Amino acid sequence: MAAAALDDELERYVRHLTVERRVAARTLVLYRSALATLAAAAARDDLPLREAQPHHVRRWTARLREQGLGPRSIALTLSAWRGLYRWWGREGLVAHNPVDGIRAPKAPKPLPKALAVDQAVALAQQAPPTDSPVLAARDQCIVELLYGCGLRVAELVGLDAVASHTAAGWVDAPDATVHVLGKGRKRRSVPVGGPALVALSRWLALRGEMARADEPALLVSQRGTRLSASQVRSRLGALAQSAGLPTHVHPHMLRHSFASHLLQSSGDLRAVQELLGHASIATTQVYTQLDHQHLARVYDAAHPRAKRRG
């Protein structure tokens, strides 16, 4: 992106951002563009920038929306404008900040991405792309615990093989339960299903071949130490690719899939909330929208009058 041309006064503000604020180069480019937009809007209205009032800023913001600028881009633009007037205010060049109180339109929250049931099952059944039976058992355990228990990746890698007073979380295979320490240091217990138990038992039987003797972590790397979240993401991505899934799969997508598929089958929002460890049921309710999308797809595919929806 070419640097936007600014007058001397705005260039002085950019130098302030560069030297005193040490703003990142990419942010400076975006702020330059936003300041050029501000200068052009004021010039169009034949208005000196320092005389701008809130109603001017509202009108200029409305123009940005009419031009198709998205909520996030408008928010960044307003942030650049607000910073300029705040700086001028500190220098005594303006009496008030006309951008204060002006908010960008709310950006719609994207729905969480979940796999279809057949995709999740295909991923869980896919043989890991490795010749090592130990690595294969570990990777299979990763998938089954993420999808079968709805764990966050941090909760997964924080699990220890056995309970202790220092463990953030641990697995209790005889009780078919995983105990985790979630967000806000909130503990919860999640049942482990049959396939996940099989994968867990298989991995526990081989774990000693890879783990260091003093390593408490359930999941370990080839160096014998606790597996990292980035390593889990990498292994899961490779497994999804070998399974031929038409989308990038990350650990949180399996948590979304766990919640969505459980809600589709049970309709029990409160139970799903408890299993996910959400403090508020409003966080869990987003999965009802995914459930509605699933029902709409079923309707479109199966009902003889579905074409009327088009």
Task: Please indicate whether residue 299 is annotated as part of the active site.
Answer: no
At residue 296, the 3 state secondary structure works out as helix
Task: Please indicate whether residue 255 is annotated as part of the active site.
Answer: yes
Say how far apart CA 216 and CA 170 lie, in whole Å: 10
Task: Please indicate whether residue 287 is annotated as part of the active site.
Answer: yes
Task: Please indicate whether residue 248 is annotated as part of the active site.
Answer: no
Q: Which of 15, 63, 96, 183 is catalytic?
A: 183
Say how far apart CA 82 and CA 13 lie, in whole Å: 12
Query: Which has the closest alpha carbon to 225: 235, 213, 211?
Result: 211
Task: Please indicate whether residue 256 is annotated as part of the active site.
Answer: no
Q: At what angle do helices 251-266 and 286-302 cross, to 10 degrees?
A: 70
Burial class (CB in 10 A: 0-12, 13-18, 19+), 41: buried
What's the residue count for the chain? 310
Alpha helices by DSSP H, listed for the chain, are 8-19, 25-44, 54-66, 71-90, 117-125, 133-149, 153-157, 194-207, 229-242, 251-266, 269-276, 281-284, 286-302
φ, ψ (nearest 5 deg) of residue 26: -65, -40
Query: Which has the closest alpha carbon to 138: 166, 167, 161?
Result: 161
Q: Which of 235, 255, 256, 261 is catalytic?
A: 255
Q: Which of 16, 58, 233, 252 is catalytic?
A: 252
Say how far apart CA 284 and CA 260 lie, in whole Å: 10
274 contact partners, CB below 8 Å, separation of at least 6? 188
Q: Which of 32, 138, 152, 179 is catalytic?
A: 152
Buried b (16+ CB within 10 A) or exposed e, 289-303: ebbeebeeeeeeeee
Give the residue numbers annotated as catalytic, written as ranges: 152, 183, 252, 255, 278, 287
